[in-house]
Structure 1
Amino acid sequence: MSAPRNTFLPRFAIAALVGAALVALADANLNPYLLSIIQFIGLNIILAVSLNVTNGFIGLFSLGHPAFMTVGGYVAAILVIPPERKAALLPDLPAFLAAQEWSFLPALIAGGSVAALVALIVGFPVLRLRGHYLAVATLGLIFIVQSFAVNLRGVTRGALGLSGLPELTNLWWVYLFCLVTIYVCWQLKHSSLGRTMLAIRENELAASCLGVKVARMRILSFVLGAFLAGIAGGLWVHLVTLISPSSFSFILAFEIVVMVVLGGTGSITGAVLVAVVLSVLTQLLRPVEEAANLFGASQMIVAFVVLVVLITRPKGLFGTAEPDLVGWLLRPFRKSKAA
């Protein structure tokens, strides 16, 4: 059962403070390799929760997140590069961009905004499609964006990509945007706007007959998901310090969809938990794959888990429900106090 909406804010504040304490401990005691793994887990949480807005809340089947990550990543990277380096690397940049050097946060917001603008432009024709037709169309968007990145050599350096970027992403930035993503998506889901989206997912014709602007709501969810994916792309790029047209492939799109489907289409809690579990499982299996020369074993295990879950629980682990994890964790303390 999900917590009542009027108790969400204090519970969220408690969880955020506990998370901040854990982040501080990790930042002070863990080595850079482990910190980078935790940051990738956080990025997967942002991607899974943001895709849930599109695929879970309103029932679209979009595979376009890597395209929006590419857009957001390139925009953020170009904006933070110093002007003297841009002149050498990117000779075809417009003059107003070539002279700019933005700080990290505005660059991330700009990257997300441009990704949202691309989603808005693409959304009008693409979101007229349904089901697997929409999936194929959004999958094609990945290849279109990659083709632009390859051919605009004077703006993106083409297939060479942008390397040697400043390592601006850290655990605190990832944690901050995880909190923002979860908070915004939770509040959206439990608002009248979110209930409208869920109604469209359950019965689009009935919602339309009741006066719901279905096309407008579909575009809104698509744009919001793209904005958050663009920010995740900017964080990702400044964590690995490079970006190329192939940085975010269609394989990543399926991995994010798996997180949403396993957790439950519409469940924010489920998306977070599955993103953490799958990210950790992938990291644990990687040394085994390399030692046994069984590359791709983790993907086979994940595929098997997906099949089992879909057979036993077609709506995912939680469906659209939000289990009260904070209450569950605090239950032992309540029992001891009552005793």
Structure 2
Amino acid sequence: MRNKKIILSLIGIIATGILLFILGNVLDTYKIRILNLCGIYIILGLSMNLINGFTGLFSLGHAGFMAIGAYTVAILTMSVPMKELNFFMKPMVPFLANLEWSFFPALIMAGLISALVGFLIGAPVLKLTDDYLAIATLGFSEIIRVVFINIQSITNGALGLKGIPSNTNLWWSWGTAVFTIIFIGLLMEGSYGKAFKAIREDEIAARSMGIDLFKHKVMSFTIGSFFAGVGGGLLAALLGTIDPTMFKFALTFNILLIVVLGGMGNIKGTVISAIVITIAMEALRFLDESINLGFMTIQGIPGMRMVIFSIILMLVVIFKKDGLLKSNLKDVRRNYAKNR
């Protein structure tokens, strides 16, 4: 059975590589960018699903960790002359102004710094539960954004950073996405993954079985923060420009939408949901603009596409709590209740 899974995984990876090669030579720049965004949102969706779906925590701080990763990659990969052009109002601190790393170590550093911040935040905050945890993580996310606005000598404040090297391509975004899928899948099949699921189902029962709740919660939160930072770094290297306003709660909401629609604790569902929602968000941009029907013109309402997605999210939460795609979460809970 295990060998069969390995063979199927290898076939899937090879097929994905061939498909990316074909699409990279067929699609135009705009469509390739959307495809890159699909890969990045798969990483971000899985990282949030690890925390919220598999471990059962309620975290809303993903945008903050993305901001840390994005600014880390931007600062480390930008050339010295470009940094001088960006920091014209207030000079950049000397030890960062002269740094210029290649993309891969900068991306790893983005993940590590995000993971470190996630660990420092998670240690005191993860003693909270449910709504209190959500409010606390959301508050920390906003604190990170406000701090980035005010440390102008490091982040260039509200002006943001421009001229970030465009290192993200299909191989980087989807290669990292495939690695994330494999890593999360292997993690959840191991002892740590079983402990995460036990915590999600019943913390009292998990504690009685000898599972260290605090240790595993912090571990889940730290790993999720790492991949959020990596996703933020890839996003910065794709867009080429970032500023603190990008990392508001709306960004966390987009990722939460992917997780909920794909199914909490569902890796395949998250992957499919990330692709569908990313493409749909671009396809529905016409709702924000005026629509000319020939005999009349309907004035566009800015933000209407997000209203549509919010309505979809509410309908899913009300009528199909386990997501639009099939998830084995109900079966897990049913078996757990039967064996208690």
Question: 1:64-106 deviations in whole A, cap 9, x for unaligned?
Answer: 11100100111111111223444562734252x3332110010
Structure 1 gap segments, 5+ residues each:
323-339
Contact 1:44–1:275, Cα closer than 8 Å, also in 2 = yes
Q: Specify the alignment match of 2:93 in structure 1.
A: 93
Q: Specify the alignment match of 1:33 in structure 2.
A: 30
For residues 328 and 249 of structure 2, what CA distance do their matches in structure 1 show? 26
Matches within 5 A, 1:13-28: 13-28=10-25
For residues 322 and 19 of structure 2, what CA distance do their matches in structure 1 show? 32
1:76 matched to 2:83: no
Contact 1:5–1:190, Cα closer than 8 Å, also in 2 = no
Shift of 1:241: 0.4
Shift of 1:146: 1.0
Question: Which has the larger displacement, 307-316 or 49-58?
Answer: 307-316
Sequence identity (%): 39
1:319 matched to 2:327: yes
For residues 229 and 116 of structure 1, what CA distance do their matches in structure 2 show? 9
Q: Specify the alignment match of 2:295 in structure 1.
A: none
For residues 81 and 280 of structure 1, what CA distance do their matches in structure 2 show? 29
1:249 matched to 2:224: no
Shift of 1:256: 0.9
Question: Which has the larger displacement, 97-106 or 269-278?
Answer: 97-106
Indicate which of 300, 304, 309 corresponds to 1:302. 309
Question: Partner letter of residue 237 of structure 2?
Answer: H
For residues 276 and 48 of structure 1, what CA distance do their matches in structure 2 show? 10
Matches within 5 A, 1:201-216: 201-216=200-215
Partner secondary structure for residue 75 of structure 1: helix
For residues 224 and 328 of structure 2, what CA distance do their matches in structure 1 show? 18
Question: Partner letter of residue 68 of structure 1?
Answer: F
Question: 1:267-309 deviations in whole A, cap 9, x for unaligned?
Answer: 0011111111111211111124313303333223222322332
- Equivalent pairs counted in the alignment come to 318
TM-score by length of 2: 0.89
For residues 94 and 55 of structure 1, what CA distance do their matches in structure 2 show? 40
Q: Specify the alignment match of 1:336 in structure 2.
A: none
Contact 1:264–1:320, Cα closer than 8 Å, also in 2 = no
For residues 24 and 168 of structure 1, what CA distance do their matches in structure 2 show? 17
Matches within 5 A, 1:99-248: 99-248=98-247
For residues 2 and 184 of structure 2, what CA distance do their matches in structure 1 show? 13
Distance verdict in 2 for CA 1:203–1:5, change over 3 Å:
farther
Contact 2:287–2:305, Cα closer than 8 Å, also in 1 = no
Question: Partner letter of residue 318 of structure 1?
Answer: K
Question: Partner letter of residue 62 of structure 1?
Answer: S
For residues 161 and 29 of structure 1, what CA distance do their matches in structure 2 show? 34
Contact 1:265–1:320, Cα closer than 8 Å, also in 2 = no
Distance verdict in 2 for CA 1:272–1:307, change over 3 Å:
same
Distance verdict in 2 for CA 1:207–1:226, change over 3 Å:
same
RMSD between superposed Cα atoms in Å: 1.8
Contact 1:120–1:219, Cα closer than 8 Å, also in 2 = yes
For residues 179 and 217 of structure 1, what CA distance do their matches in structure 2 show? 24
Contact 2:82–2:163, Cα closer than 8 Å, also in 1 = no
TM-score by length of 1: 0.89
